[in-house]
């Protein structure tokens, strides 16, 4: 009897491999270190004060500086890539992203996902996979809970199509789902150290903030960042294969653009020290090494928090562009049905915590 040999290498899942309701436990938990924090700052230039300084974090009631929310997001995201998006063409969007308990150096992060939607593309060569992913710490406390959808190649164009199921997702994360860090006390809040005197009350609905600064993408930066998160998607690393693809070069990881936009937003939104939720996000156009990223934000909503007169939330929409300062986009809003300018690369709807 001939022995059946098992494939030992992981070639990644293709669209046909996913099933609605499928549960996936992702390999390789990750213990976060202070080295990860330093490297993240080196790659993004993020200047938000609370994740940067133990002393300032302790002054508002935390035991030490927490892990930057987006570093945590990327580390959870990175656990999922080998199973979800190794054969991705592009990551398309995010929704209903809720940040849970804070993470600190020394915490170990793991993740698991559920397939909640599938839709084959009309060309028969790929399909969109919707997954609900949850990251937990070593105490099994939820640190991140989110939905994303990704376009994944089919292994065989001739394989039968699956019945389409697109999940219904909320427009935004509701106040009841916000998880404020325990023990926050702002009696010793120092606006000068935070970097800006403005408070929640100083921001108006409809206000647009041009973050002014730009940051040029370097091939080495985005590749190091993506390796830091252990995101091994082929589109970011393999120039040999991507050189033969649609763009002829590697794509910048969309999450790196999110981090740069957030880092740039410090100039104008320095008091927004904590991300509570990502309501939705879209990668509108690809970015490549050599592009210069700019960002601007619009205040969508001011949110009162129950039983907290010292804190408020701002719902923001941050947009990022490549090689065009934000002054090139007067008004800043995309009209429904309008074509998307090639220079617009990101639209991120998220909610932040600000002192009142």
Q: What is the pLDDT of residues 259-316, one digit of tens each?
A: 999 999 999 999 999 999 999 999 999 999 999 999 999 999 999 999 899 999 999 9
Share above pLDDT 70 across residues of the chain, in percent, rounded to a whole number: 96
**Nearest one of 41, 62, 38, 66 to 51, comparing CA atoms:** 66
Spans of all domains in the chain? 16-155+173-355
At 38-67, the pLDDT tens digits run 999 999 999 999 999 999 999 999 999 999
Q: Which option is the CATH number for 16-155+173-355: 2.60.40.2470, 3.40.50.1820, 3.40.50.2300, 3.10.129.10? A: 3.10.129.10
Instruction: State the pTM of this model.
Output: 0.93
Alpha-carbon distance of 249 to 262, in angstroms, equals 25
At 134-191, the pLDDT tens digits run 999 999 999 999 999 999 999 988 888 888 999 999 999 999 999 999 999 999 999 9
């Amino acid at each position: 009897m001939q022995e059946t040999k098992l494939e030992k290498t992981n070639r990644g899942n293709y669209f046909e491999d996913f099933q609605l309701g499928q549960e996936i436990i992702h390999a390789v938990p990750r213990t976060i270190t202070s080295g990860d924090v330093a490297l993240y700052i080196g790659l993004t230039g993020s200047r938000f004060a609370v994740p940067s300084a133990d002393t300032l974090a302790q002054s508002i009631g935390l035991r030490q500086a927490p892990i930057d929310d987006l570093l945590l997001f990327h580390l959870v995201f990175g656990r999922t890539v080998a199973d979800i998006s190794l054969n991705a063409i592009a990551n398309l969007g995010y929704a209903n992203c809720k940040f849970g308990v804070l993470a600190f150096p020394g915490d170990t992060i793991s993740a698991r996902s559920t397939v909640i939607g599938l839709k084959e593309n009309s060309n028969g060569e790929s399909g969109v996979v919707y997954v609900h992913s949850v990251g937990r710490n070593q105490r099994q406390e939820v640190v991140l809970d989110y939905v994303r959808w990704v376009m994944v190649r089919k292994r065989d164009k001739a394989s039968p199509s699956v019945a389409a199921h697109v999940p219904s997702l909320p427009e935004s994360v509701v106040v009841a789902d916000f998880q404020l860090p325990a023990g926050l006390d702002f009696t010793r809040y120092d606006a000068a150290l935070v970097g800006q005197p403005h408070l929640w009350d100083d921001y108006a609905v409809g206000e647009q903030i041009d973050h002014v600064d730009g940051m040029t993408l370097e091939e080495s930066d985005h590749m190091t960042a993506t390796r830091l998160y252990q995101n091994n998607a082929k589109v970011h690393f393999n120039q040999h294969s991507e050189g033969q693809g649609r763009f002829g070069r590697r794509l910048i990881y969309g999450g790196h653009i999110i981090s740069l936009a957030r880092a740039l937003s410090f100039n104008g939104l320095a008091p927004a020290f904590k991300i509570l939720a990502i309501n939705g996000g879209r990668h509108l156009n690809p970015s490549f090494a050599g592009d210069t990223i700019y960002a601007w934000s619009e205040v969508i909503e001011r949110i009162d928090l129950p039983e907290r007169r010292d804190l408020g939330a701002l719902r923001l929409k941050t947009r990022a562009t490549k090689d065009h300062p934000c002054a090139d986009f007067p008004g800043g809003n995309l009209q429904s049905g309008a074509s998307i300018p090639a220079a617009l690369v990101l639209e991120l709807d998220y909610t932040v915590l600000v002192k009142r």
